[in-house]
Structure 1
Amino acid sequence: MARRHDPERRDRIIDACLDVIAEHGVAGASHRRVAAAADVPLGSMTYHFEGIDELLYLAFERFSIQEAAHFERRMHAATTFEEAIEAMLRITTEDVFDSQRDLILTHELYALAARRPEFRELCHRWMGRSRAALERQFDARTARILDALNEGLTTQRALDTQPWGTAVVVDAIQRVTRSRQPPSPRPDDGSPSPAQSR
């Protein structure tokens, strides 16, 4: 029987691996389960990937790239300090962990990263992209704090048994950024500055 032409099979397996992790966890992501989810022969797993570790890495790499790109789109659309604050609010309250699937995938990745350096490097690159996007409007230190704040707030909001409003998030972001807001430009009225008048 002629082999079915299926050029997107490898990509489909990677996507299916994420679905399996979301449903069964990393521990349940076997070759057999992923092959069934991708609707491919079991032999395709060893044909396209050296082993389950390579597949897990590629799946989490794809997930982290997609999430980082979404964060970047929000921040790159912000052209003023005020818009950047609003973007941070939207990211924290609407984008991150906007589904149970994203919550599970993120924490499954974190659990792997806590044990294995190659997955820790994935997280490092993900955080690096987030901070670089924040640095379009904030200094590097504030960007790092905001990135960590976003991580903590979204995790607690997602796992808390009581629903959160946005007030706590707004307050937290304002506390971090209030003292770091760029000074408003002074009107050029021709009067000397304090330094010039000395």
Structure 2
Amino acid sequence: MRARRTDPDRRDRIVDATVDLIAEVGVAGVSHRKIAARADVPLGSMTYHFTGMDELLHEAFTRFAEHVAASFEARLGAARDVEEAVEAVVDLVHELSDHGNHRDQVVSYELYTLAARDPRYRAITTGWMARSRRELERHLDPSLTRQLDALIEGLALHRALDEDPFDRSVTLDAVRKIVGVAGPPPGRAAR
């Protein structure tokens, strides 16, 4: 009797490869064949692990949203006061919108497009937004968190797509206005 070959990480590799391909070719460009090749798995593994492309896409976007939410939580979780939370939010906007972060930007936009049409994907974005707001509420009045969460998304989108993106001072000013925190005293620059 031959020993059975096991590959316990195969399912995870398939999901990770799916996210990578979505970033490269969009949801419309992914296929079972392309994903299997990228994950270095037999094509039959696709139907063994997933009932279809929708299940695979849903899991890939769920994993992606978890990754982004965890990053947000780590950044805001390190803040010790409101001013540090403001700085963390500004850092996040610029991290999310830097042209070097193209992969996460594209995957986010692909998820938003699906969420606009399909309630199952909207549940992913709703959960992601709720986690963001809970983290913001650790430092800020809950009545502000929806506004600030929307501002984060909007600023990141505008910076990412603008050929001449605004600098950190614009982001810092906008966040401070929402939060109601004054800037540094005259003569003292913001970090």
Which residue is equivalent to 1:164?
166
Q: 2:144, 2:179 within 8 Å by CA — same for their partners in 1? A: yes
Which residue is equivalent to 1:63?
64
- 1:48-91 CA-partner distances (Å, limit 9, x unpaired): 00000000000000000010010001111111111111111111
- 1:73-118 CA-partner distances (Å, limit 9, x unpaired): 1111111111111111111112456511001000000000011000
Cα distance, 1:39 vs structure 2: 0.5
Q: Which amino acid aligns with 1:6?
A: D
Q: Tell me how far apart the structure 2 counterparts of residues 94 and 45 of structure 1 sit (CA, whole Å).
A: 33
Which residue is equivalent to 1:38?
39
SS at match of 1:99: helix
Which residue is equivalent to 2:19?
18
Aligned pairs for 1:1-198 within 5 A: 3-95=4-96, 99-178=101-180
Q: Which amino acid aligns with 1:165?
A: D
Cα distance, 1:4 vs structure 2: 2.7
| RMSD over aligned Cα atoms | 1.5
SS at match of 2:8: coil
Distance of aligned partners of 1:52 and 1:17 in 2 relative to their CA distance in 1, 3 Å threshold: same
Stretches of structure 2 that go unaligned for 5 or more consecutive residues are 183-191
Q: Which amino acid aligns with 1:29?
A: V
SS at match of 1:114: helix
Query: Which range moves more in the overlay, 170-179 or 111-120?
Result: 170-179
Q: Which amino acid aligns with 1:23?
A: E
Q: Tell me how far apart the structure 1 counterparts of residues 124 and 173 of structure 2 sit (CA, whole Å).
A: 31
Identity within the alignment, %:
53
Q: Which amino acid aligns with 1:122?
A: I
Provide the aligned length of Structure 1 versus Structure 2.
Answer: 180
Q: Tell me how far apart the structure 1 counterparts of residues 15 and 181 of structure 2 sit (CA, whole Å).
A: 44
Stretches of structure 1 that go unaligned for 5 or more consecutive residues are 181-198
Q: Tell me how far apart the structure 1 counterparts of residues 42 and 4 of structure 2 sit (CA, whole Å).
A: 12
